[in-house]
A and B are shown apart, each in its own frame.
Chain A
């Protein structure tokens, strides 16, 4: 997109056309001026940050900025700061007030040293103990029905592939052969075990279809979830520490 600068120049002196590349560079510079915003240069197209997309009308563009930031970040502050910096830069340099500036934090890099992390975590910023979370938020194992459904999907693909194969190679059809064999089939001794196995598989699948997903962890408060088999051990240790503190 290009646009005319709204400055009141005489017509005889021509007009100034500003390319979007200029806007992009100004927006990148404005975003990078905000503390905590990082420049990321990569060889992969579209992965370089800040990344800028410009749209909208002349004189009032809409700007989309993707940025990388360094951990820890204050989302509200950094988003507001980048938005304001971009809007101010466009207004100051080009006399344009963007219609909308949308900022997305697309990447966050953590590069603190262990000592810095330990110092930061030594300050307890939370308001106090947080209670046990409801078990509907508990991490759960995948349902058995998920695995069986994936196997059924694979079987469907296999059957479909055989059908397409039969369609393309009419000389040696498998499905037609199977149907003719079925039509001529007589009762054999092995039908008993096959039927029993089919019934057992059906029963297992039926149980899998209705069995709820098992919770793998239990909440012990303060956002912490411990494995079910370690819960008792954790609570005993926690209790012992609390008693120690009281004494």
Chain B
């Protein structure tokens, strides 16, 4: 998800929130006989609202409005459903690598280490930089020093494979003792 999309989400949410708050305030004010709310309500021609479907441009407005609403809504939904992973990355020399596949291979390899129960990788952009993030399930029998060594080694393998400057993160997820695979206990 890009920072622009995140900002769009916030703006959209804020606009809907303000519309809801303003509408609710107006209605509550009307119920409490607040002059401003009463004046505002008096200025609304409710009869015109009821007559709107009879106007000649109603069908055009309905069709155009419906199409625009569907297009904007579907576009926003698609932006949210789009995979967030980073794929091709240019290396420091001429050439490119598929970062997602590198991350998957590194996670597969790490998951085979006896000190790790399982590992899964994703690629993201964090702080503006392509980032490989491997979540590893660590059983209680694995020491912190061992995890540190695994992380350093894995980072070295990935950086050597990618041949460019990227971020690496090992998210160490402790596995409760009762969920440790028997072969690792």
A residues lining the B interface (CB < 8 Å): 71-76, 79-80, 83, 102-110, 112-114, 117-118, 120-121, 123-126, 129-130, 133-134, 136-139, 142-143, 145-146, 148-150, 152-164, 166-167, 173, 175-176, 179-180, 182-185, 187, 191-192, 194-196, 198-199, 201-206, 208-210, 217, 221-227, 230, 233-234, 237-238, 241, 245
In the complex where A126-B155, A157-B74, A179-B52 touch, is A162 in contact with B21 (Cβ < 8 A)? no
A176 to chain B, nearest CB (A): 4
Q: Chain B residues near A153 (CB, 8 Å)?
A: 72-74, 76-77, 80
Note all chain B residues with C-beta closer than 8 A to A222. Answer: 148, 151-152
Complex interface residues of chain B between 136 and 167 (CB less than 8 A to chain A):
143-145, 147-157, 160-163, 167
Count CB-based A-B contacts (< 8 Å). Answer: 315
Q: Do B93 and A114 have beta carbons less than 8 Å apart? A: no
Bitwise interface map of B from 165 to 185 toward A, beta carbon under 8 Å scored 1, else 0: 001111111100000000000
CB distance from B9 to the nearest CB of A (A): 4
Partner-A contacts on B (CB < 8 A): 1, 6, 8-14, 16-21, 23-25, 27-28, 30-31, 46-47, 49-53, 58-59, 62-63, 65-74, 76-77, 80, 88, 91-98, 101-102, 104-106, 108-110, 112-115, 126-127, 129, 131, 133, 143-145, 147-157, 160-163, 167-174
Residues of B within 8 A of A225 (CB): 169-172
**Taking A195-B31, A199-B24, A224-B147 as contacts, is the C-beta distance between A105 and B96 under 8 angstroms?**
yes
Knowing A143-B6, A201-B20, say if A149 contacts B13 (CB, 8 Å). Answer: yes
Q: Is the pair A199, B20 in contact by a Cβ cutoff of 8 Å?
A: yes
- With beta carbons under 8 angstroms apart, the residue of A121, A198, A227 that contacts B20 is A198
Is B91 a contact of A137 with CB atoms below 8 Å?
no
Knowing A137-B169, A183-B49, A205-B20 are in contact, say whether A163-B63 is a contact too (CB < 8 A).
yes
CB A217 to nearest CB in B, in angstroms, measures 6
Distance between B47 CB and nearest chain A CB, rounded to angstroms: 6
Partner of A104, one of B95, B127, B129: B95
Which chain A residues border B148 with CB–CB below 8 Å? Answer: 129, 221-222, 224
CB of A37, distance to nearest CB on chain B (Å) = 13
* Residue in B62, B71, B131 whose beta carbon sits within 8 Å of that of A137 in the complex: B131
Please report the C-alpha to C-alpha distance between residue A166 and residue B61 in the assembled complex, in whole angstroms.
11
Residue of B nearest to A103 (CB): B95
Are A136 and B143 interface neighbours, CB within 8 A? no
Contact B65 A160 (CB under 8 A): yes
Determine the chain B residues whose CB is within 8 A of the CB of A75 once the complex forms.
Answer: 91, 95, 97, 160-163
Residue numbers in A under 8 Å from B49 (CB-CB): 179, 182-183
